[in-house]
Amino acid sequence: MGATPTATVLVIAYKMESMIGDAVRSALAQTVPCEIIVSDDCSPDNTFVEAQKAVEGYTGPHRVTVRQTPRNLGLCPHLTELASLATGDILVCIGGDDVAYARRTERLLQEFAQHPDAQIVGSQVDDIDATNNVIDPNARGTPYEIDQRWLLRRGKLAAVLGASMAIRRTLLTDFPPLEGRVEDNMLTLRAVLAGRCFCVQAPLLGYRRHDSNLGDWVFDRSGKDYAAYERRNRRVLAMYREIAADQRKCLAARPDLPEDKRRMGAHLADMYAIEADMREAVLDKPRREWLEPLWRGLKHPGLRRKSLERAFKLVLPRSVFGRTG
């Protein structure tokens, strides 16, 4: 086991005035002394004010900063900026709407000490409601260790839940800037490219469920008509293109990585790009032009099931797609 690395806890918030206090107090309750940066992404509400209130009078062992960006950056650029400000080896992320359990940082750092090549350690979470009641325990986990081969075989474009992540800071500082709307998949792919990726098989935080969860917005299935189907799929394909582009930028930036890692990283980038192309074809192109991306998907181990399911839509009118998935 290696030396225990140092940690910076990042409390990352945007428009979370009613929840940020709980998130900050959960950061202050962590059992190992660390740097804490509470950062509001220029919210138009009172998130920053409530974050400042939550640390008033604090005299504990942590070194605490509360800041606000001068303009709204979005999640990925915000995280990139915070990585340049943090001093810890490990960035322990807490969403401004979530609640970290007191021993969370301690437990995550133990995993990094046990596995010096770990780039990300996440965990299961408890889904909680607005009043911190658990509504779904031990949720949203992956196997204890995932790697590039697992992601390629998975059949779903899976990732460690971003809200549960602790990230080695070099995953952001030694790679191109993180760009896009959603961080989970990009960071997971970076982690398995650069080293190893783990998920503690126990819940270490409460993951708040509410109307503004980013993942629910991207994959919104509340509508059952074609308009909702199209809206969801355009969001998803744009996200998948961002993920593929990020992985390709990382490959270009790190020619020093082992060739087998680089080869599988390229396959993973292709997987996301093919899936985006298939979704775009279904939305916008005549049926005969579906065949090329469908064929590429059928040849890719991680997309065969999805491609077979999508092939059945060749005989269906687009108007029913929202009702059939």
Mean pLDDT of 283-296: 88
How large is the average pLDDT for residues 58-67?
Answer: 97
Q: Does residue 103 have a pLDDT over 70?
A: yes
pLDDT surpasses 90 at 167: yes
Would you list the DSSP string of 159-183?
---GGG-EEETHHHHSSSPP-SS--
What letter would DSSP give residue 256? Answer: T
| Number of Cβ within a 10 Å radius of residue 70 | 6
Q: Would the pLDDT of 112 be above 60?
A: yes
Does residue 140 sit in helix, strand or coil? Answer: coil
**The dihedral of CA 16, 105, 108, 175: what is its sign?**
positive
Out of 20-34, 105-119, 307-321, least confident range: 307-321
Kindly state the average pLDDT of the residues 193-201.
98
Secondary structure (3-state) at 53: helix
Residue with tokens 């355009």: 234
Whether 165 and 223 have beta carbons less than 8 Å apart is answered as no
Asked if residue 267 has pLDDT above 50, the reply is: yes
Asked if residues 177 and 97 have their Cβ atoms less than 8 Å apart, the reply is: no
Distance CA(147)–CA(7), nearest Å, equals 24
Q: Which of 73, 75, 29, 22 is nearest to 47 (CA)?
A: 22
Class of domain 7-212 as given by CATH = alpha beta
pTM of the model: 0.92
pLDDT for residue 287 = 85
* Segment 261-267 mean pLDDT: 96
The pLDDT score that the predictor gives to residue 325 is: 46
pLDDT at 9 over 90: yes
165 pLDDT tier (thresholds 50, 70, 90): very high
167 pairs with which residues across the strands? 91, 120
Cα angle 269-266-278, degrees, rounded to a multiple of 5: 35
pLDDT in tens, 199-253: 999 999 999 987 766 555 566 667 778 888 888 889 999 999 999 999 999 999 9
pLDDT at 136 over 80: yes
- Read off the pLDDT band of 137 (50, 70, 90): very high
Domain residue limits, the chain:
7-212, 219-324
**pLDDT, position 80:** 96
